[in-house]
Amino acid sequence: MPKKTRILITNDDGYFSDGIVALYNELSKKAEVYVVAPDREQSASSHSLTLNRPLRMHKLDKYHYTTDGTPTDCVMLALHVVLKKRKPDFIISGINHGANMGDDVTYSGTVAAAIEGAILRIPSIAVSMANYEPGTPMKRAAKYVARLIKIHHTLSLDPSTFLNVNLPLDDGLPYRDFEITSQGMRQYKDVVIRKTDPRGLSYYWIGGRPKWKTAQGTDFTAVNKGKVSITPMKLEFTDTDVLQWFQRQKIRL
């Protein structure tokens, strides 16, 4: 009897969120699925590890655990404590309540968990739903992830490459159309609001809405057309063009 696929699920919205619940319910039909997720929202936690305090982890049942750490902490705890170094076949991060596209992936806790998986050479997928509103069905999105996992081996991806998937808002029909996209760019319209507390001390809210540059072949453009965006990504920041230019210059310092 062939062994079941072992899948680790995490997110940055918390173990109770609609997206992670739908994902577990769908993937656990045919796979051995473990959930290790934050006990509270950890949005915009990026690829941070908690090193300045101890972490707490609580076992809810055999397959569900929560922690007061970040999504990256969740991956570390899952591999070293829950799975006891039995590597999962996949790490799925999501389904995030809101898009993770363009420059915003650098802030995303959802994407960070997939990055950690790629560093560990475990096939990983970050999944987000654009324009999510509370109560939006996630069942069809979860089924799409299950289909993607099923064909993942045919893509022959290097283990250091992960997929960043952004789904348009569920319109009641199964997800069909998709594009393989590049990472888009955001025109920053951030706002920092200063307020004063009852003691006369200042505090700040960082907010604003993203405004995207429209360019063919990017994640934002695909989602804006109602298509699923699938962006292959890897943690390699070297600008090879500039590197080669420097090497040709033979610069002396």
The string of pLDDT tens digits covering residues 12-22 is 999 999 999 99
Please check whether residue 199 lies inside any domain of the structure. no
Check whether the bond before 95 is cis (ω within 30° of 0).
yes
Average of per-residue pLDDT across 104-108: 88
The answer to whether the beta carbons of residues 137 and 174 sit under 8 Å apart is no
- What is the distance, to the nearest Å, from the Cα of residue 212 to the centroid of all Cα atoms in its chain? 19
Residue 85 pLDDT exceeds 90:
no
Please check whether residue 1 lies inside any domain of the structure. no
Please report the pLDDT score of residue 1 as a whole number: 45
Please check whether residue 133 lies inside any domain of the structure. yes
Give Cβ neighbours of residue 229 (< 8 Å, ≥ 6 apart).
Answer: 101, 164, 165, 166, 167, 178, 179, 181, 219, 220, 222, 223
Please check whether residue 195 lies inside any domain of the structure. no
Question: Which residue range is the domain that position 115 belongs to?
Answer: 6-185+213-249
Quote the percentage of the chain above a pLDDT of 70: 94
Please check whether residue 47 lies inside any domain of the structure. yes
Instruction: Say how many domains are in the chain.
Output: 1
Question: What is the C-alpha separation between 9 and 113, in angstroms, rounded?
Answer: 9
Token pair recorded at residue 29: 């039909």
Please check whether residue 85 lies inside any domain of the structure. yes
Question: What is the C-alpha separation between 123 and 89, in angstroms, rounded?
Answer: 7
Element (H, E) at 238: none
Which pTM value belongs to this model?
0.90
Residue 64 pLDDT exceeds 80:
yes
Which CATH number do you get for residue 106?
A: 3.40.1210.10
Which pLDDT band, with edges at 50, 70 and 90, does 237 fall under?
A: confident
